[in-house]
Structure 1
């Protein structure tokens, strides 16, 4: 079953003196491109967070945000005035709003609060890891739901390609005869004396170059293989992409050998359907 690389997951946990929020957003990418934003005190644990995320999401352009809001009455946290001022200056350049609203946004950014703690205690770290796992579960559910939509679209387009291939096979029954008739008429119009046996040999050789039997068989196999891979338990986006390349190769070969307008029209329709599959394939995990 395929999964999309587009997703969103968020989870919030309340500790005695602070509220911790983990937010994950992902888009399509060839590999894992992870951007992490978290307060300075948690930086020493960033590699562990990255491993959790990479193991769960595998691929995609991922934005990971860990934010902390102090809610306890007694807190050793202090506002980093210089950091907040810098954030507000940058926010004013890209967004409209009063200073109070911009201050609220700035205080949510990393490193706006400092604390005299040098390390994160074990209980807090376990709570953060649990929160991250919950957010990963939610983004996984989002990706799965998006994958179902893509799967439905792919199945419909593969069905369309299969139907077009059936039409190609029907047209091909009369195509060679039509091509042969045109060639014989063209030679007859020349009113030249020809060796009939030699002409027949050359004609057969010429027509064999336009035979698309192998391409039709391979294309049918590739379409079936695409469907089988699509229905496998794992999300095989890269493998499906390779199969698309093979499908495209066979369609192009049929088009180059067609020499028959109705068949070339079907090839154009097949290329159009395949391009739509390739566009969506960029988002498959």
Structure 2
């Protein structure tokens, strides 16, 4: 299935947030920015990413908010000791102010932070990465499908242009042949008829575009097949655009009619439009 190389996704849970951004790149270039606490996960995550994506610059960012992920417990023993001390203060200084509940929980040691649960957080970060990667892949597929539809329409327009040139090719060849024969007939000098016939055939072959039309149709079929392939086809499509452009340039250089020249210009426009889309296909 055709995939785009651009996309963005964000997944978060329990203080962990993954952001994955993808842009077009000739090769696959993953980049990870994650807290040192989770660095041991990077190698495994890179392997998973490479199984899903084949081209593009992929920036993966993990943020961890420890306060959101650590439970807070009341240390009743420390609070009781603090209460005993307050009673002693009031006996010595009867007029001393009584602290509020908020003052008490702010006192060092009254609240305890739960310890860092590495195994649970690693498992959560790994599962969250899989979710983000799945979302990104789906986004790239949706955009890729839209691009595939657009290219398919442009490809059909290109085929129509080729067919229109082919429909007039025989008439153009006949016109060129007649014109050459008339010009030869106007020559006043004696010439070898056989040699003149050879030269005329040579000139007609130089301006014949049937081979280019055949190759254009073959390349168009290859583009259509590549778009329908389940394998990444971006590089193949880019190469085919170069081949299409080469054949059209040859037709334009051989053109013996205004109509053929106009069709050649239109074909080059269509190929450029497809090429721009293909630059973002995986």
TM-score normalised by structure 1 residue count: 0.77
- The secondary structure found in structure 2 opposite 1:164 is helix
Q: Could you tell me which of 135, 139, 144 is aligned with 1:142?
A: 139
RMSD between aligned residues: 2.4
Does the C-alpha gap of structure 1 residues 241 and 120 become closer, same or farther in structure 2, counting only changes over 3 Å?
A: farther
Q: Could you tell me which of 238, 256, 261 is aligned with 1:259?
A: 256
Does the C-alpha gap of structure 1 residues 120 and 271 become closer, same or farther in structure 2, counting only changes over 3 Å?
A: farther
1:67 aligns with 2:67: no
Q: Give the aligned partner of residue 170 of structure 1.
A: 167
Residue 213 of structure 1 deviates from its aligned partner by 1.7
Does the C-alpha gap of structure 1 residues 197 and 48 become closer, same or farther in structure 2, counting only changes over 3 Å?
A: same
Residue 193 of structure 1 deviates from its aligned partner by 4.2
Q: How does 1:233-244 map to 2 (within 5 A)?
A: 233-244=230-241
Q: How does 1:69-218 map to 2 (within 5 A)?
A: 69=65, 70-71=67-68, 72=70, 74=72, 121-184=118-181, 186-187=183-184, 191-218=188-215
Q: Give the aligned partner of residue 280 of structure 1.
A: 277
Residue 133 of structure 1 deviates from its aligned partner by 0.2
- The secondary structure found in structure 1 opposite 2:72 is coil
C-alpha distance in structure 2 between counterparts of 1:140 and 1:133, whole Å: 10
1:231 aligns with 2:191: no
- Larger radius of gyration, structure 1 or 2? 2
Which of 59-68 and 33-42 deviates more? 33-42
Q: Give the aligned partner of residue 52 of structure 1.
A: 48
Residue 49 of structure 1 deviates from its aligned partner by 2.1
Q: Give the aligned partner of residue 107 of structure 1.
A: none
C-alpha distance in structure 2 between counterparts of 1:204 and 1:242, whole Å: 34
Does the C-alpha gap of structure 1 residues 38 and 120 become closer, same or farther in structure 2, counting only changes over 3 Å?
A: farther
C-alpha distance in structure 2 between counterparts of 1:29 and 1:147, whole Å: 15
Matched pairs, number: 241
Residue 252 of structure 1 deviates from its aligned partner by 2.1
Q: Is the 8 A contact 1:179 1:260 kept in 2?
A: no
List gaps (5 residues or longer) in structure 1: 76-114
Q: Give the aligned partner of residue 25 of structure 2.
A: 29
- The secondary structure found in structure 2 opposite 1:209 is helix
Residue 189 of structure 1 deviates from its aligned partner by 6.2
C-alpha distance in structure 2 between counterparts of 1:259 and 1:38, whole Å: 63
Residues 232-285 of structure 1: CA deviation (Å, up to 9, x unaligned): 223321222222222222222222222333212211111111111111111001
Residue 173 of structure 1 deviates from its aligned partner by 1.5
Which of 128-137 and 210-219 deviates more? 210-219
TM-score normalised by structure 2 residue count: 0.78
Residue 187 of structure 1 deviates from its aligned partner by 4.9
List gaps (5 residues or longer) in structure 2: 74-112
C-alpha distance in structure 2 between counterparts of 1:198 and 1:276, whole Å: 46
C-alpha distance in structure 2 between counterparts of 1:4 and 1:39, whole Å: 29
